[in-house]
Amino acid sequence: MWRNYVTVGLRALAKNKVYAFINIFGLSLGIAACLLILTFVRYEFSYDNWLPGAANAYQVQDFYKPTANGGEEYELQMTSVASRVALQKDFPQIVKSVYLADRGINLIYKGQAYRPRDAYFADGNIFEILEIPFVRGDRAHALDDPHGLTLSETEAKKYFGKADPLGQTITVVSDDLREDYRVTGVFKDLPKNSHLRLDMVARFDLHSYYAKNPDFLTSWNSQGGYVYVKLRSGTDVKQMEAQFPAWEKRNIPNDPADGGPVTNPGTDQDWRLTNVRDVHLGEAQQAALAPGGDKRTILTFAVVALMILGMACINFTNLATARASQRAREVALRKVLGATRRQLIVQFIGESILVAGIATLVALALAELALPPLNNFLDATMEIHYFGTEGILAPVLLLALVVGVAGGAYPALYLSRFQPAVVLKANKSAADAEGNGRLRNLLVVGQFAVSIGLIICTTIVYSQTIYARTMDAGYKRDGLLQVRRLDQPQAEAVAKTFAEEVLRLPGVSSVARTSIAVNPGNNSMTSARLPGATAQVQLGVYAIDPGVIDALGMRLLAGRNFSEATAMDDATTPSPVDFAAERALVARGINVILSESAAKRLGFATPQAAIGKQVQAGFTVPEAGNWVPATVVGVVSDVRYRSVRDPLQPILYVYQTRGYSTLLVRHVGDARLVRERVEAIWKRLLPEMAFDARSVTETVHNLYSRDETRAQLFGMFAILAVVIGCLGLFGLASFTAERRTKEIGIRKVLGARTRDIVRLLVWQFSRPVLIANLIAWPVAWWMMRDWLNQFDVRVGLTPTPFVLAGLLALLIAVGTIAVHAFRVARTNPVHALRYE
């Protein structure tokens, strides 16, 4: 019996090849797309699940709340040394804590300078918390040695090749530190699904390293590194965090008032413990070791996956239902020969499961073929496993069974109740389907609503990404190179010479030193107020030299630029801190330049109104008196140094002769050639420091690359959704045209023209698409409004993408059925009306 069922099912597919192709290919596309998207979603949620001991490993994160005086909201993965010390002291649940810091480490081996991509100092054995597997050395004691250094496998091969790196000596250079370190361990290369990016970790002593800047160790506002803690098993983290407000009051001292209101760093900050497995998609994504993700976006992808699968299943069910009546005569004959209704139901559900099974096999093949290019596109290492705890074989088989039963249940129940006498009587050979197809039309509406919504979302996400990359950020992107690590002592000693030599290069029009760059990776804030006022505002404070305005392409809106010849312009103080020099600066005062938004925040109506006025800036050490008298000598246009996701920062600029981190190089001509010449000068002046430079165009591109990737992913799946929808639409149009052959023949006999018939059929299938717009538009508008609200500046939600998406879907739908409708409309009515 089963053999007979399979034979009949395969023959039915072979008899209706177009129907079989549409049904199988459409369903396989939907299943394959769903598998790929859910594999991506699971991959995003799998970050650091591979890490042994991850259940008890946490990152301490620092959240700054927005304030009425302009203090910005920050959600930092970094925190201060002071918070780490206080947490370890007050909470016995913490077994171990380690401070991890990126300090611009350079390595010297056999006389050659190297710059490891992701190199960090740790003040303890971080591998007792982050139990990364080791291939050489003892993980538990790898950083016990004060001069111990660990490398990843790839990094170790770069220096030592196939030789055993353990015990080898390599020189570490960072700030004033220049010491020989011994390789004590080699850890496995970290997989890509990790929030960690570690190529090298070296031990250091916090107090000796920051001897010139001891305030860094006690300041609660100095977030310069990452704190990881290991908690005792069974610790209730929520209960522990509930004690943080009282812990803050016990440990955080007030800042000196100096005539203003008493402030406390804890007022604007909150601390949280985030498990390492939750860091990648966590709330805090600023100052991250590696680019993170957005949980809502990833969950949106999961919803899209289910929608696409739902569309494919709707197609399958629609077409199975539509074709059911074509087998009415077969059912009648089977009943005449003694088949029971139960046997017929089993037969048709079995055929449906068979088709779903074939589609599932095709889907698995498509998913396997598509996975490598998708991994390459996402820079991921996703895998499809069929067995084990992450195996998909059982869910996929269950899905094929469910889809098969769902697609075959209604046709089976519908066909099995046919009465043979009614079906076999004269002129009822086709047994026209009952009803007017409202359910099928409703399902088509749902399909195209999903497709239109995805097209709208893709258009808006991509438009926002392009807008962010090309908008006027207050500087000229093209022809600008940023050379970093200028703040290292070795570089600072030759910084002026380096800048002068670079300026003499062919094609270089200007150079300038600055402590802030495009996508700077640092943030410096200070309080400012007008004389006599108690109300303070928060401003960014950065050092620039006089050439920055020209090098960046900023506009001077009022006043003048800094000048090296004017003593009051110079705000330089010695390093390490010299209290006498700081007090002298407070007594003397300085000149400053404000950005346009900083002038507005301080209350000046126009840029010109700020010129010559005095403000008080709070960026000296408390022992010198917080407020420095600062005379505004210039106002410049705003520059958006960071992503458009971050608020535009109002800035107070000062001039110094030292302390810069970046050299800006404005050039024309071949960018690669200019970079090579700049690098040659660097290597000649600083042979022990690796060169670190990047064009601003590349920097901005990378800043929004994740948004672009997501937009492209949405686009891919939107195209898939449209293809699946059109396959179903074509199948239904083919069936409807076939069922209405006699009607079309009669219309033609009565004088209807071909274009009238085409218009009739096209309009019938265009209505669901038009209705789908009414559903998709408000849903897409609500979703995109919420997404765009993440950005400080954004594209407007105009009707354009909605109308374009609707028209595109309509054109695709019309194009899908128009050719078929035209062919049917040109059929000779004699063939349609002849007696069967």
What is the token pair recorded at 655?
């001039």
Dump the DSSP string for 747-805.
Answer: HHHTT--HHHHHHHHHHHHHHHHHHHHHHHHHHHHHHHHHHHTTSSS-----SHHHHHH
Q: Show the low-confidence residues of the chain (pLDDT under 50).
A: 257-259, 426-436, 835-836
Beta bridge partners of 226: 100
Note whether 148 and 296 are same-domain residues: no
Dump the DSSP string for 529-551.
Answer: E-TT----EEEEEEEB-TTHHHH
* Positive/negative CA dihedral, 485, 486, 489, 493: positive
Residues 6+ apart with CB under 8 A from 245: none
User: Max alpha carbon distance in the chain (Å)?
Assistant: 112
Whether 129 is in a domain gets the answer: yes
Whether 480 is in a domain gets the answer: no
Residues 6+ apart with CB under 8 A from 366: 28, 29, 32
Q: How far apart are alpha carbons 604 and 241 in whole angstroms? A: 42
Q: How far apart are alpha carbons 298 and 38 in whole angstroms? A: 10
Note whether 19 and 126 are same-domain residues: no
SS3 624: helix
pLDDT of amino acid 2: 55
Whether 478 is in a domain gets the answer: no
pLDDT of amino acid 623: 53
Note whether 313 and 413 are same-domain residues: yes
What is the token pair recorded at 538?
């928060």
Note whether 530 and 677 are same-domain residues: yes
Burial profile 754-774: b = 16 or more Cβ within 10 angstroms, e = fewer: eeebbbbbbebbeebbebbbe
pTM of the model: 0.84
pLDDT of amino acid 742: 67
Domain that residue 357 falls in? 1-47+280-430
Whether 52 is in a domain gets the answer: no
pLDDT of amino acid 435: 45
Here the contacts of 253-261 (C-beta below 8 Å, separation 24 or greater) are 255/622, 255/626, 256/622, 256/626, 258/618, 258/622, 258/625, 258/626, 258/627, 259/534, 259/627, 260/527, 260/529, 260/534, 260/536, 260/626, 261/534, 261/536
Note whether 532 and 441 are same-domain residues: no
Note whether 262 and 284 are same-domain residues: no
Nearest CA-CA partner of 665 in 469, 504, 556:
504
pLDDT of amino acid 436: 47
Whether 467 is in a domain gets the answer: yes
Note whether 399 and 445 are same-domain residues: no
Cβ atoms 284, 76 nearer than 8 A: yes
C-alpha distances in angstroms, 598 versus 84, 105, 603?
33, 35, 9
Note whether 367 and 396 are same-domain residues: yes
Q: What strands, in cross-sheet order, belong to the sheet with 693-695?
A: 508-514, 662-667, 480-483, 693-695
Cβ atoms 10, 352 nearer than 8 A: no
Q: How far apart are alpha carbons 219 and 217 in whole angstroms? A: 6
Q: Among 275, 291, 316, give the residue marking a domain's end.
A: 275
Encode pLDDT of 168-219 as tens digits: 999 999 888 889 999 999 999 999 999 999 999 999 999 888 888 888 898 8
Q: How far apart are alpha carbons 621 and 629 in whole angstroms? A: 14
Cβ atoms 628, 616 nearer than 8 A: yes
Note whether 678 and 713 are same-domain residues: no
CB atoms within 10 A of CB 106: 22
Q: Among 256, 275, 294, give the residue marking a domain's end.
A: 275
pLDDT of amino acid 129: 95
pLDDT of amino acid 106: 87
If one counts the domains in the chain, the total is: 4
Q: Which helix (H) or strand (E) covers residue 663, if one does?
A: strand 662-667
Q: How far apart are alpha carbons 533 and 259 in whole angstroms? A: 9
Q: Which helix (H) or strand (E) covers residue 79, if one does?
A: strand 79-80
Note whether 93 and 238 are same-domain residues: yes
435: left (phi over 0), alpha (psi -120 to 50) or beta: left
Whether 696 is in a domain gets the answer: no
Q: Which helix (H) or strand (E) covers residue 172, if one does?
A: strand 169-174
Cβ atoms 558, 607 nearer than 8 A: yes
Note whether 666 and 541 are same-domain residues: yes
Cβ atoms 502, 649 nearer than 8 A: no
Q: What angle do CA 564, 570, 574 make, to 5 degrees?
A: 125
Q: Among 226, 256, 275, give the residue marking a domain's end.
A: 275
Note whether 392 and 463 are same-domain residues: no
CB atoms within 10 A of CB 256: 15
Whether 412 is in a domain gets the answer: yes
Q: How far apart are alpha carbons 444 and 440 in whole angstroms? A: 6
Q: How far apart are alpha carbons 37 and 336 in whole angstroms? A: 49
pLDDT of amino acid 165: 92
Q: How far apart are alpha carbons 628 and 531 in whole angstroms? A: 10
Whether 571 is in a domain gets the answer: yes
Helices then strands, each counted (H, E), the chain: 26, 25
Cβ atoms 281, 41 nearer than 8 A: no
